[in-house]
Amino acid sequence: MPYTQRLERAPKLHNTIRIKLKKVYRLGHTCAGTVSSLTFYFAVPKGEEGIHMLYDGTKSGLNDMMWAPWFPLPTIEAHL
């Protein structure tokens, strides 16, 4: 089942998200073309007027494809 990005309903927030996404595009993190991996995003408030963009890779399967070896963090007991 294909997923689609939920559109923000508040016009002011929608415009702020567009500005943030244009910056991501301008920096070269995304480009025009065929979509092979869709990463969803949402905004959370930051201060009075700003937002912070969060990207969610769970529905696209990105999180499942990422691999990071598990390693224990050293404790003082391990050091001694």
- For the chain, residues with pLDDT lower than 70 are 1-3, 67-73, 78-80
pLDDT of residue 26: 94
Q: What is the pLDDT of residue 45?
A: 87
Contacts of 56 (CB under 8 A, 6+ apart): 39, 40, 41, 42
pTM of this structure: 0.62
- CA–CA separation, 49 vs 31, rounded Å? 28
pLDDT given for residue 73 in this prediction: 66
